[in-house]
Amino acid sequence: MNPAIQGLMTIVFGVGGCLAYFFLSNVVLDTFIFPAKGKNAGRNINRANMVRPWLFLFPALLVLGLYLAYPVFETLRLSLSARLPGGGYEFVGLDNYRQLLNESKFWEALRNNFLWLAVVPAASTAIGLLVAQLTDRISWGSAAKSLIFMPMAISFVGASVIFKLIYDTRPAALEQIGILNAIWLQFDGGIWSTITLKVVPAFIIVAFGIVCVWIAWLLVRPMIQKGSRPEGPFIKVVRVILAVLALLLAFKSVTGLISLLSATLAYGQPQTWLTVPFYNNFFLMVVLIWIQTGFAMVILSAALRGIPEETVEAAIVDGAGPFQIFFKIKVPQIMGTIVVVWTTITITVLKVFDIVFAMTNGQWETQVLANYMYDKLFRAFDWGVGSAAAMVIMLLVTPILVWNVYNARKEMR
C-alpha cells in the first residue's frame, strides 16, 4: 500500500476510531450497563460516573503503560540477563553492569556526559537570562528574542550540518571556508592573540572556579553555622555530594588553567576542530547551547516580566544600580524558574544523541552515554550491556524525576 494512503487511513481510522470508542463506550455505559431508569436509576447514575473517567483514560493509559512504563521494567530485566545462542534469555545478575564498568569507552562516555552536564545547562541558562534581561526593555526586543529562539525549531541533525560548516577545515594553502578556521588564521601569536586566546579564557576559567568554590561554600555553610534550621540526614548527604562535585569542578578548572597557560598554540595552522581530544567536546556542546538558549530565554523572560514592579522601584529609590537590581532583586525572585530551566536542560543533555551521532559518532573521545548505548544496541547487538547503559541514563534522570513529582504534588495540594 502506498505510504501516503496508509497515513491518511491511519489518521481517519485513528481519529475516527478514538472518537467512536469514546462515544460508543459512553452510550453503552449509560443505556445498557447502568441505565439511568428503572428502580435503581439513582444508584446506576452514580456507578456510571464512577466508571466513566476510566473510559476516558483507558486509551491514554494503555499507550502510556505500553510505551513508557513497561519498557522501564523490561529494560531493567534485559540489563540483568544475557541472550542465549539458541534464543531466549538467561538471568545473569550484574554481569552486564560488570562488563560495562570494565569498558574504557563507557567511562569516557560517562566523563563526557558529566562535562556536558556541567557546561550546557549553565551556559544556556546564563546566556538565556542575559538575553532575557537585555531584551526586556528595548523596542525591538521581541524581534531579537524571536531570532535567538529560532534554533529551537532546527533539528539536531540540521544544526550539526550547520556547525560542521563552521568547523570545516581546508589545507593551509587554500582559503578556509569554515569561519572558525578563518578567524583562527587571523591570530599570528602577537599581543592580541595572547590576550584573546590566553588572558580572556584564563579569566573565564578563574571566574568559573571561584563560582564553584562559592557554590560549595553556600552548600556547606548551613551545616557548619550554628543556629541554622535543622535538616534531615538525606538533605545533608545531598549537600555534601553536591559540594564535593563543585569542589571537583573547581579543581578541574585549576588544572585546566595550568594546561591553558602552558600550551603552545599552533598559530597559522588550520585546525580540524572536531578531532582535538577533550576540546572537541566543547565544540559539540556549542551546538546544544545554541539550540537551548532560546528555550531558557523564553521561560526566564516571562519570569522577569512577572516580577512585581514595586520591588524594583523600591530598590531604585534606595539607590541601587542596574547591576545590583539585576543580581540582588530580580535573580533571587526568579530563582525557582531558573532551577526549572536548569533541570529541563539537564534532562535534554542526558538524552543527547543526535549531535554526537551526526558530527563525530563518538570518535576522538567524544562518546556520550546515549550514543554509547545506541552503539551497543544496534552495532554490537549486545542488548544486555546496551540495556545496562540505558539504565545508567535512567539512574541519572531519577533525581530530577523525583524532584519534579514532589513539586507537582506540592503544587496540587
Partner 1 sequence: MDNIAGSKSSLTWAVHISTLLLVILWVFPTVGLFVSSFRTGDQIATSGWWKAMLPSEQVITLRTASPDEAMQEIDGVYVVEGNLFTEQGSLDIGAFGTSSRDPAAAEPGATFDMGDGETMTVLPNGDYRWTSTEELSGRGQRVFVTAEIPPEFTLANYDTVLGQGVLQSLITFAAGSIVVGFAAFWIARQIGFAGPKGVGFIVGILAFALLTWIYGIGTGIRTGAGSDDMGKAFFATLTVTVPATIIPIVVAAFAAYALAWMDFPGRALLIAAIVGLLVVPLQLALIPLLRFHLNVGIGKGYLGVWLAHTGFGMPLAIYLLRNYMAGLPRDIIENAKVDGATDFQIFTKIILPLSFPALASFAIFQFLWTWNDLLVAKVFLIDPTQGTTVMTDQIVQLMGSRGGQWEILATAAFVSIAVPLVVFFSMQKYLVRGLLAGSVK
CB of 257 to partner 1, least distance (A): 26
CB of 92 to partner 1, least distance (A): 16
Strand positions, DSSP E, 307-359: none
Cell triple for 216: 560549595
Among 82, 198, 347, 364, binds partner 1 (CB under 8 A): 347
What is the total count of residues that contact partner 1 (CB under 8 A)?
Answer: 122
Cβ nearer to partner 1, comparing 78 with 115: 78
CA distance 36 to 39: 9
Cell triple for 175: 582559503
Query: What is the Cα 354 distance to its own chain's centre?
Result: 13
Stretch that binds partner 1, among 115-123, 135-143, 213-221, 252-260 (CB under 8 A): 135-143
CA distance 309 to 282: 39
x/- map, 77-116, partner 1, by CB under 8 A = -x--------------------------------------
CA distance 145 to 151: 11
CB of 134 to partner 1, least distance (A): 5
Among 28, 33, 66, 207, binds partner 1 (CB under 8 A): 66
Cβ atoms within 10 Å, residue 152: 13
Rule CB under 8 A: is residue 407 a binding residue for partner 1? yes
User: Locate cell 560517562: which residue?
Assistant: 110
Ramachandran region, residue 363 (left: φ > 0; alpha: ψ -120 to 50; beta: rest)? beta
x/- map, 233-262, partner 1, by CB under 8 A = ------------------------------
Contacts with partner 1 in 174-203 (CB under 8 A)?
174-179, 182
Contacts of 364 (CB under 8 A, 6+ apart): 274, 275, 276, 277, 280
CB of 214 to partner 1, least distance (A): 25
Please, which residues bridge with residue 81 across strands? 91
Asked whether the beta carbons of 381 and 373 are under 8 A apart, the reply is no
Cβ nearer to partner 1, comparing 229 with 410: 410
CB of 299 to partner 1, least distance (A): 6
Rule CB under 8 A: is residue 263 a binding residue for partner 1? no
Rule CB under 8 A: is residue 332 a binding residue for partner 1? no
Among 151, 209, 270, 362, binds partner 1 (CB under 8 A): 151
Contacts with partner 1 in 4-43 (CB under 8 A)?
4-7, 10-11, 14-15, 18-19, 22-23, 26, 30
Cβ nearer to partner 1, comparing 268 with 321: 321
Among 34, 97, 106, 163, binds partner 1 (CB under 8 A): 163
Cβ atoms within 10 Å, residue 158: 14
CB of 318 to partner 1, least distance (A): 11
Among 38, 68, 171, 308, binds partner 1 (CB under 8 A): 68
CA distance 9 to 129: 46
Stretch that binds partner 1, among 62-70, 106-114, 221-229, 263-271 (CB under 8 A): 62-70
CB of 331 to partner 1, least distance (A): 16
Estimate the share of the chain in helix, then strand, then coil, as percent rounded to the nearest 5. 75, 0, 20
x/- map, 277-296, partner 1, by CB under 8 A = -------------x--x-x-
Contacts of 209 (CB under 8 A, 6+ apart): 249, 250, 253, 254, 257
CA distance 266 to 259: 15
Strand positions, DSSP E, 12-84: 81-83
Cell triple for 7: 497515513
CB of 301 to partner 1, least distance (A): 9
CB of 360 to partner 1, least distance (A): 11
The DSSP element (H or E) to which 2 belongs, if any, is: none
CB of 192 to partner 1, least distance (A): 19
Among 158, 201, 222, 256, binds partner 1 (CB under 8 A): 158
Contacts of 117 (CB under 8 A, 6+ apart): 346, 349, 350
Cβ nearer to partner 1, comparing 193 with 361: 361
CB of 199 to partner 1, least distance (A): 20
213 burial via Cβ count (<10 Å: 0-12, 13-18, 19+): middle
